[in-house]
Amino acid sequence: SAVISQKPSRDICQRGTSLTIQCQVDSQVTMMFWYRQQPGQSLTLIATANQGSEATYESGFVIDKFPISRPNLTFSTLTVSNMSPEDSSIYLCSVEGLAGGPETQYFGPGTRLLVL
């Protein structure tokens, strides 16, 4: 199966700063998604990262706060901008469209973010 990696794996940041999280897949995929998991909570979709075009954001999430890039079929970034303690969460990317695994999302290991 494909390997999905995220960088950084964890970080501690000061409020008001920004952090860019990278998601890399070792094979081309159709879809890439970004989810947020707040402490003790379930996962919520932030946006769908579209290759070559603007991301599609879910209700409650905006591009100015969570800019996303997807320059090719194996890589995407999520930036958490102007951070506040409420942004402390685990951020996970997922991919869909892997060979042998259509209609199934596979998740990266997550990035654990603490904002002070």
Partner 1 sequence: AQSVTQLGSHVSVSEGALVLLRCNYSSSVPPYLFWYVQYPNQGLQLLLKYTSAATLVKGINGFEAEFKKSETSFHLTKPSAHMSDAAEYFCAVSKTGFQKLVFGTGTRLLVSP
- The token duo for 70 is 């997807």
**44 in contact with partner 1 (CB under 8 A):** yes
Please identify which residue in 75, 88, 106, 114 interacts with partner 1, judged by CB under 8 A: 106
- For residues 100 and 44, give the distance between their C-alpha atoms in angstroms, rounded to a whole number: 26
Q: How many residues bind partner 1 (CB under 8 A)?
A: 24
| Residue of the chain from 49, 68, 87, 110 that contacts partner 1 (CB under 8 A) | 110
Residue 49: what are its φ and ψ, rounded to 5°?
Answer: -90, 115
Piece of 18-26, 68-76, 78-86, 107-115 that binds partner 1 (CB under 8 A): 107-115
Q: Which residues bind partner 1 (CB under 8 A)?
A: 30-31, 33, 41-45, 48, 58, 92, 94, 96-97, 102-110, 112
